[in-house]
Amino acid sequence: MEFPISLFVFLFISTLYINVHATEIFSVTENGATPDGKTDCSQAFLSTWEKACKVDGGTVLVPSGTYLVKSALFEGPCNGQTVFNVIGTLKATPTSSIGVESWIEFSHVNGLVMIGKGVFDGQGASTWSRSVNCKAAGSFSCSNRPSSVKLKFVTNSSIKDVTSMNSKMFHFHLNNCDDVTMDRVSILAPEDSPNTDGIHVGASNNVQLSNLNIATGDDCISLGPGSTNINISDVTCGPGHGISIGSLGKYPNEKNVAGITIRNTTLSKTNNGLRIKTWAPSPPSTVSDVTFQDIILNDVDNPIIIDQQYCPHNRCNHQGDSKVQIKSVKFINIKGSSSCLVGVNVVCSKSMPCQDIEFSGLDITMHGSGQPTTASCSNVKGNFLSNVVPTSCS
């Protein structure tokens, strides 16, 4: 018996439609969440996640409204892709999760898709002054503040269109992740909010960060030990502390950093620009194959800095050199204005000088006056190619 082609087409399209629309949606409000900003919805969120996680393509829906969530750990593995659709606002309590690593955490999930125009509000203001007071007193033992959203052992996942504001610590923290994409994410906190890195990546591979708008009180993006194959593009950063690799070398057995590309990014009025920072003394590790390319600077402090004597709060003895080897780093087409005369400041390790550092297409001048900036370098084997400002190291 022969079937007309039109019937085969109909059946094919119908099958596609069923597959595409097979997602089951589980709303947090249908599982007990009250969007009044006052009632703790933690258990309702966890119950909703558990249901969505059990089905292939399950969706957690956070409708419009404000949901108080003291803390939530969303654990996998799930039975396929799981969508977390945030339309409303998740709000932390001012003191929630103090002493733990994270406020909202996704752990051991493969195929997480976070979407929506919603907001994660960490309500961190009350903890920022506490952090500053701890540091002023010389104490590093104060209780940890939580990151707002942490991805731990998360793979083949994406985050798109959401906003994080006023985190207590890092806004987003990626740890031991592989193949994660973040796109069109907004990150907001006051410029005096301490340690509120926009995105911190550590021990992770194949991470794509693009089309980001970050204004915060610390590094817009920071890459810790074990960051490999990280591509960052189309970022607007400022205020903040720029984009940093490090700090590195603080702990034994840190993994190497390699394959980092940062391009098509604008830094405005940031405390630092493009930075690599390592502790001294330090255990051995390596930073290699790093490219900063097509970066625009607007009135930036320390536009380009490699600091292998990194010492926040000036409480280091420096009795020994950094043993973090920095090599094969390129700064290409970095242009714009600096708030300080030294546009390039490279301080490498005496015992392990920086290798193969290349500067090309630089045009960094003083903000306002247009005066050419200078470069200061020590313990580095590098090249300033033709037609660059600054022209060479002193």
Q: What would the 3-class secondary structure string for the chain be?
A: CCCCHHHHHHHHHHHHHHHHCCCCEEEHHHHCCCCEEEEECHHHHHHHHHHHHCCCCCEEEECCCEEECCCEEEECCCCCCEEEEECCEEECCCCCCCCCCEEEEEECCECEEEECCCEEECCCHHHHHHHHHHHHCCCCCCCCCCEEEEEECCEEEEEECCEEECCCCCCEEEECCEEEEEECCEEECCCCCCCCCCEEEECCEEEEEEEEEEECCCCCEEECCCCEEEEEEEEEECCCCCEEEEEECCCCCCCCEEEEEEEEEEEECCCCCEEEEEECCCCCEEEEEEEEEEEEEEEECCCEEEEEEECHHHCCCCCCCCCEEEEEEEEEEEEEEECCCEEEEEECCCCCCEEEEEEECCEEEECCCCCECEEEEECEEEEECCCCECCCEC
Task: Pick the catalytic residue from 108, 173, 241, 318.
Answer: 241
As a whole number of angstroms, the distance between CA 314 and CA 138 comes to: 10
Catalytic annotation present for 173: no
Catalytic residues: 241
